[in-house]
């Protein structure tokens, strides 16, 4: 069974705005538009958003137990389920098989699809990864892996922009300035990709990659209450301090 079939198991869980007359908060052009899933928050009780897991299945299960989703709860992952940690297949299957979970595609899933890394260890999940959307939205919220450029219309973005946006201009990496410090919405954008010492929360953007696979935390955000949850990560891979963003430092 594919990810899309699982995601729609509780009937009509999402629509593609390009194929239906729905009030999405942003309008993307192709090829992003066909990979934009739109949920109605009225159909869900609690809604959580979770940062980059990177194959850290033990941390995912601990965080999942804390969230304890049930009924019509929805858990949205910001991408990068895979690579760097030890259990990418298990993490992806966990998300795909849950009646509560969906994920956008991250840049590391995209590396698998483009064949720029060794795909052999990921063969069991390549079909599932290929079906992940680039954008998920609900209410006035947009979820992408990287971000949105604060000065561009949504239609001006290409897939690599929403997957890899970090600095403005994009090529600046961790030198900044960072798109989410400039962007003030609407819509409010939830994102991963940029590794943070602490979650970034503003009216315009919420960053949830707190470096689980580098020994930081795996973080979740309660969309309805604004509460943050986290569990300690394990250092499966080292990372230079300059690429662990401390916005307070």
Q: Return the CATH number at 21.
A: 3.60.21.10
Rounded Cα gap, residues 113 and 185, in angstroms: 31
> Apex CA 9: angle with CA 80 and CA 109, to 5°?
15
CB 209 within 8 A of CB 230: no
The reported pLDDT for the residue numbered 248 is 63
Is there a domain that residue 249 lies in?
no
Which tokens sit at 178?
């960072």
Mean pLDDT of 38-49: 94
What confidence tier does 106 reach under pLDDT thresholds 50, 70, 90?
very high
Is there a domain that residue 129 lies in?
yes
Is there a domain that residue 137 lies in?
yes
pLDDT in tens, 180-212: 999 998 999 999 999 999 999 999 999 999 999
What confidence tier does 117 reach under pLDDT thresholds 50, 70, 90?
very high
Is there a domain that residue 248 lies in?
no
Q: Which residue has the higher pLDDT, 1 or 224?
A: 224
CB 225 within 8 A of CB 177: no
Is there a domain that residue 183 lies in?
yes
Rounded Cα gap, residues 229 and 244, in angstroms: 19
How many domains does the chain contain in total? 1
Residue-averaged pLDDT of the chain: 90
Contacts of residue 107, defined as CB under 8 A and 6 or more positions apart, other chains included, come to 79, 80, 145, 146, 163, 164, 193
CB count in 10 Å sphere of residue 232: 11
Bond prior to 85 in cis (omega within 30° of 0): no
Say whether pLDDT at 4 is over 50. Answer: no
Is there a domain that residue 138 lies in?
yes
The reported pLDDT for the residue numbered 15 is 78
Range of the domain at 231: 3-243
Is there a domain that residue 127 lies in?
yes
Is there a domain that residue 224 lies in?
yes
Mean pLDDT of 219-224: 98
CB 214 within 8 A of CB 51: no
CB 6 within 8 A of CB 97: yes
Say whether pLDDT at 2 is over 50. Answer: no
The reported pLDDT for the residue numbered 169 is 84
Which regions of the chain does DSSP assign to beta strands (E)?
A: 36-39, 47-50, 74-77, 101-103, 135-138, 141-143, 188-191, 200-201, 205-207, 217-222, 228-232
Rounded Cα gap, residues 52 and 132, in angstroms: 15
């Amino acid at each position: 069974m594919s990810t899309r079939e699982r995601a729609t198991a509780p009937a009509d869980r999402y629509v593609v705005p390009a194929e239906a007359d729905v009030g999405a908060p942003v309008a993307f052009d192709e090829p992003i538009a066909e990979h934009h899933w739109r949920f109605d928050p009225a159909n869900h009780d609690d809604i959580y958003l979770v940062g980059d897991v990177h194959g850290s299945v033990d941390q995912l299960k601990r965080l999942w137990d804390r969230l304890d989703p049930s009924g019509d709860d929805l858990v949205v992952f910001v991408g990068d389920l895979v690579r760097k940690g030890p259990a990418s297949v298990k993490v992806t299957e966990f998300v795909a098989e849950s009646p509560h979970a969906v994920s956008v595609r991250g840049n590391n899933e995209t590396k698998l699809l483009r064949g720029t890394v060794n795909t052999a260890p990921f063969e069991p999940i390549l079909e599932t990864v290929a079906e992940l959307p680039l954008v998920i939205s609900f209410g006035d919220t947009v979820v992408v892996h990287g971000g949105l450029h604060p000065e561009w219309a949504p239609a001006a973005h290409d897939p690599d922009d929403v997957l890899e946006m970090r600095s403005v201009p994009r090529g600046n990496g961790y030198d900044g300035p960072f798109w989410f410090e400039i962007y003030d919405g609407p819509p409010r954008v939830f994102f991963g990709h940029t590794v943070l010492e602490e979650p970034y929360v503003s009216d315009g953007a919420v960053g949830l990659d707190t470096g689980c696979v580098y020994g930081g935390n795996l973080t979740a955000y309660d969309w309805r209450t604004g509460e943050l949850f986290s569990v300690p990560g394990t250092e499966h891979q080292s990372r230079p301090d300059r690429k662990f963003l401390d916005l307070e430092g």
